[in-house]
Amino acid sequence: MDQPISGSTSESVRANASRGRAVVLRVRGVVLPEREERSFWIDEDRLRTEPVPDAETVVDGGWLLPGLVDVHTHPGTEALDAPFSDDTLRRHLTDHRDAGVLLVRTPGSAARIPGWVHEDAELPRVHPGGRWLATPGRFLPGFGRDVSEAELARAAVEEATASSGWCKVVADWRYDEPALSVEVLTGVVRAVHAAGGRVAAHCQTAEGSRNAVLAGVDSLEHGMHLDPGLIDRMAAQGTAFVPTLAVFGAGAGARRSEEPSGRRDWWLAGWDALLPTVRAAHEAGVTVLAGTDSFPCGTVMSEVEWLARAGLPPETALGAASWTARSWLGLPGLTDGGPADLVAYDTDPTLPPSARAHPSRIILRGRVVA
């Protein structure tokens, strides 16, 4: 995790000057979610509140918020027949960055995120979650890491340890087949938590969502058939909800036009209940977060719009893709010593979607990228 640099701003600026580094930048605007006008000085990749003479002002007015966050995205491949590639990964992450998404969590991937991603100052910060972990028959064969139920807990610890502390378990797959049992998932959660990690669970069936919540997973991904009776338990134990509404919403029309079938009817029943469930989760105190699970990358604002449509207050929906997501991942917002990752808007981005179509300024790791 990033750590604040030591020493005062002035000391750091003098050190930078002696080494010929770039001038300190200044930004000013109304900070969200506090809605207070503030100025920050950007020293390397950190925000500072101590004024620096002769700093270059790059944002003067408008609205400031921490860089956008997509907590459920799978960069690196776009199709089942397309192998994971560094070129595709770079393109996807660049698309995120250009939309103001400066931090992504990848809960499951066809391959572990390579080290060069974390070293490239031009790319968003990445919180990887290792490879998808799936037991036989519960995922796309060979697309993640296939393990037996007996091996799952050990594999989950391995993936969490090799990533940012996260692992991703496919808790269910087909609507008409059993989900992973509570006992197996509980063993995974206990093992990963003992190692200091966290567990994300792919869940779309009622059984899979139930078992994942009862096992105490840290994030429920999708949750299409989540029983509202489990929401209070999620709030009490701190299980976050990442409903990925936009990707489901985009496919709803096509589903309705299909011939009736067990799968179609199951899918539509889950979709029709999902928005009310998301609203109920928010009202109960569950942390609801924005994740896209779709392509093209860089579309997290569409998820913000869906969260607002589900009934989250506009500012809460926006926070799900910014300050709330960062806090949940253990990162500060716009504060002294925090990472200099921010986006600026000319008008209040909690207003209708046109107000947040695209940031007027994007600053990543202390550098203006747009």
Cα 10 versus chain centre, distance: 34
pLDDT on residue 53: 93
What amino acid is encoded at 125 in this protein?
A: R
Which residues have a Cβ under 8 Å from the Cβ of 150 and sit 6 or more positions away?
Answer: none
- Residue closest to 217 by CA, chosen among 240, 195, 183: 240
pLDDT on residue 17: 39
Q: Residue 88, SS3?
A: helix
As a dihedral over the C-alpha atoms of residue 111, residue 326, residue 356, residue 92, rounded to 10 degrees, the angle is -10
pLDDT on residue 12: 40
E strand segments, the chain: 25-31, 36-43, 46-48, 56-66, 68-70, 101-106, 125-128, 132-134, 145-146, 166-170, 198-203, 219-222, 240-242, 342-345, 361-364, 367-368
pLDDT on residue 82: 80
pLDDT on residue 321: 98
Do the Cβ atoms of 242 and 303 come closer than 8 Å?
no
CATH hierarchy code of domain 68-321: 3.20.20.140
Q: Do domains 9-66+332-368 and 68-321 have the same CATH topology?
A: no
Do the Cβ atoms of 295 and 247 come closer than 8 Å?
no
For 112-150, the DSSP string reads: PPPTHHHH-TTS-EEEE--SEEE-TTSS-TTTSEE--TT
CATH hierarchy code of domain 9-66+332-368: 2.30.40.10
Please report where in the chains the tokens 């991703």 appear, as a residue.
168
In the chain, where the domains are located? 9-66+332-368, 68-321
pTM higher than 0.85 for the full model? yes
- Residue closest to 192 by CA, chosen among 163, 171, 220: 163
pLDDT on residue 22: 58
State the 10-residue block means of pLDDT for the chain, 370 residues long. 33 39 88 97 96 96 98 91 91 98 96 95 97 92 90 98 96 96 98 98 98 98 98 98 97 96 97 98 98 95 97 97 98 97 96 82 97
